[in-house]
A and B are shown apart, each in its own frame.
Chain A
Amino acid sequence: MTPSTPAYSAMELMACVAARTLEDRRTVLVGTGLPMIGAILAQRMHAPGLVIIFEAGGVGPRVPTLPVSVGDSRTFYHASAASSMHNVMSACQAGYVDFGFLGGAMMDRYGNLNTTVIGPWEAPEVRLPGSGGGNDVGSLAQRTIVILRQDTRRFVERVNFITTPGYIDGPGARERAGLPAGSGPYRVLTQLAVFDFDETSKQLRLRATHPGVSVADVQAASGFKIQVADTLEVTSPPTEEERRLLHEIDPVGMVIGK
């Protein structure tokens, strides 16, 4: 049987996987783009009690349409609070934020992220935006979810610059550095698969593949050897309802496309 072209796009699938990773009656601090869409979709599907938090101060909004920025008025539309960065980041540091949800540029097997620079810091080949709130969320949220497109340039053996710490260089490294106990990367979502982290080694581990994707495909799109969980799941494709909601959330196609 030859695989038929799916009725959904890779971005739609990633947004749905993002949404399904979030739990009802939890707090999530979201970054720009897919994390926002995922959280908004979750709130409209299985997690109506999901409290979406934006770093610039929006707390608990019913986001009407996809924001351009984590600080525009959509991020505190019908919200519980229009607060401040100090309020949000303090809440994160004090343990009120269950999930941090970040996009990434480059990641290594310990979930360390680089969004600062490609090439030497002193003489960048490509200068990226820097931490933004990424380091804060990755340091201070209890469980961090990262969503990014994976390929051999983005899934690298060792990031050349740790903008945002994952498990740094292995078990216990976060606590030794002084980061909050028990915090750290939880899931990594890509266009091919869902990963978690091995409890002992704190290294990335394949947990589920998306429809039509093989373990070999996932390995081929990585710059390091991927561990595979004993039981591998397969992601369910986006439902019609999820797809309809995605286009309702992002009507002009800023992230999801037309």
Chain B
Amino acid sequence: MEMLGQGKGELIGWHDPDENRRWVLENKSRELRDKRMSVTQAVREYVHDGDYLAMGGFGHIRVAMAVVYEIIRQRRQHLVLAGKTAVHDADLLIGSGCVDRIEVAYAFAQELRGLSPAGRRAVESGACRVVGEISNAGYQWRFLAGMLGVPFIPSRNMLGSDTFTHSACKVARDPWSGKPVCLIPAAYPDVAVFHVPRCDMYGNAQIDGILIMDWELARAARRVIITTEEIVAHEVIQERPWLTAIPFYVVDAVCEVPFGAHPTTMPYLYYFDEEHIGEWLDLSKTPEGTRDYLDKYVYSMPDFATYLDHIGGATKRAYLADVEHLRQPLRAPWLQKK
């Protein structure tokens, strides 16, 4: 295959397919065994300093926030983040100093809410280094290649752009059509973390609504932590097995965390807590405010349940369920400042 070009981004999370296959053969159990544990234990066992971490969901959709907070509480360092539509998850992980490198498809911003102060400050000061650029589909297909166990996926995006120039991709001549194609390298995160509505104790995780890129990411990652609104009996999964998006054999830990995506949104259950995210966006304008927020909502909280009481508990959840189901209007402090 004739090589036509190469991006200068740093290649992270790639393994020789035989090496990764051997790792899977030696490390991933096929046994239906009870994988329930606390979030504290899951983070202690499966998230290590320097790991290449990917969060499931979509930055502020269906994010396993209890794990984000626990990573911060356990003061993990030098994590490399998959910036695959990184939004609120990345903001906190970068703002707290846990993540100091990121491969960016989308980061340092909060969609309609605007740019995120903490992430931008870190990247503009050099505290967080961008190792490379990629696009959303590009990241998606890095995980697809990982899931397939092949070294790369050919694609037609990123060609002719500086997104490519700063990526870890290559361009080759397609041996059939003779046209240039982008070669997107596989990615195997050390650990990926997902929040789902229901899962059994073995790790069969079901998702309601869009899958985003969780199907591929869960199968590409070496270690998988699931947090779930509810741990259900295996029989409940067996009744509707077609809803199982992530099968047990890729999962290492299952943690029951009701309301576990707060303040991000959980489709069909609760909408974004814009008041809470607004407080973060306000406070994170300064390093002092960022520390205040983390002290108030993360470091001083022994666990996620205490945090939930702190942010308004069942009353808040009922309100966010109403917003999700279009029964109440959205209250968002950032709206007043637009």
Chain A interface (Cβ < 8 Å from any Cβ of B)? 32-33, 55-58, 64-65, 68-73, 75-76, 82-86, 89, 92-93, 116, 121, 123-136, 139-140, 161-165, 168, 173-174, 176-180, 251-255, 257
Q: What would 7 more interface pairs be, CB under 8 Å, given A73-B268, A132-B136?
A: A55-B137, A73-B209, A84-B213, A85-B212, A127-B130, A140-B137, A180-B156
Contacts of A135 in B (CB 8 A): 135, 137-138, 157-158, 161, 163
Contacts of A93 in B (CB 8 A): 137, 155-157
B301 at the binding interface (Cβ < 8 Å): no
Give the A-B pair count, Cβ closer than 8 A: 209
B326 at the binding interface (Cβ < 8 Å): yes
CB distance from A119 to the nearest CB of B (A): 9
CB distance from B205 to the nearest CB of A (A): 15
Chain B interface (Cβ < 8 Å from any Cβ of A)? 57-61, 83, 85, 87, 104-109, 111-113, 115, 119-120, 123-124, 126, 130, 133-138, 140-141, 144, 155-163, 166, 171, 179-182, 209-216, 265, 267-268, 271-272, 274, 324, 326, 329-330, 332, 335, 338
CA distance A128 to B326 in the complex (A): 32
Indicate if the CB atoms of A131 and B332 lie closer than 8 Å. no
Known: A56-B210, A86-B215, A178-B181. A136 touches B157 (CB 8 A): yes
Indicate if the CB atoms of B212 and A71 lie closer than 8 Å. yes
- Chain A at the B interface: mostly helix, strand, loop or mixed? loop
Contacts of A75 in B (CB 8 A): 210
The 5 lowest CB-CB distance pairs between A and B, nearest first, are A177-B160, A178-B180, A57-B210, A132-B106, A89-B137
Please name the residue on chain B nearest to A258 by beta carbon: B335
Between B137, B156, B166, the greatest number of chain A beta carbons within 10 A of the residue's beta carbon is seen for: B137
Indicate if the CB atoms of A127 and B210 lie closer than 8 Å. no
Indicate if the CB atoms of A57 and B335 lie closer than 8 Å. no
Indicate if the CB atoms of A140 and B157 lie closer than 8 Å. yes
Partner of B105, one of A70, A130, A177: A130
Contacts of B157 in A (CB 8 A): 89, 93, 135-136, 139-140
Contacts of A84 in B (CB 8 A): 210-215
Indicate if the CB atoms of A133 and B135 lie closer than 8 Å. yes
CA distance A136 to B211 in the complex (A): 18
Between A130, A133, A165, A257, the greatest number of chain B beta carbons within 10 A of the residue's beta carbon is seen for: A130
Contacts of A129 in B (CB 8 A): 104, 106-109, 115
Indicate if the CB atoms of B213 and A127 lie closer than 8 Å. no
Indicate if the CB atoms of A254 and B83 lie closer than 8 Å. no
Contacts of A56 in B (CB 8 A): 58, 61, 85, 210, 212
CB distance from B140 to the nearest CB of A (A): 5
Contacts of B156 in A (CB 8 A): 93, 139-140, 178-180
Indicate if the CB atoms of B123 and A76 lie closer than 8 Å. no
Please name the residue on chain A nearest to B57 by beta carbon: A71
Contacts of A55 in B (CB 8 A): 136-137
Please name the residue on chain B nearest to A169 by beta carbon: B160
CB distance from B65 to the nearest CB of A (A): 15
Known: A69-B58, A130-B104, A178-B182. A162 touches B163 (CB 8 A): yes
CA distance A14 to B255 in the complex (A): 47
Contacts of B134 in A (CB 8 A): 131
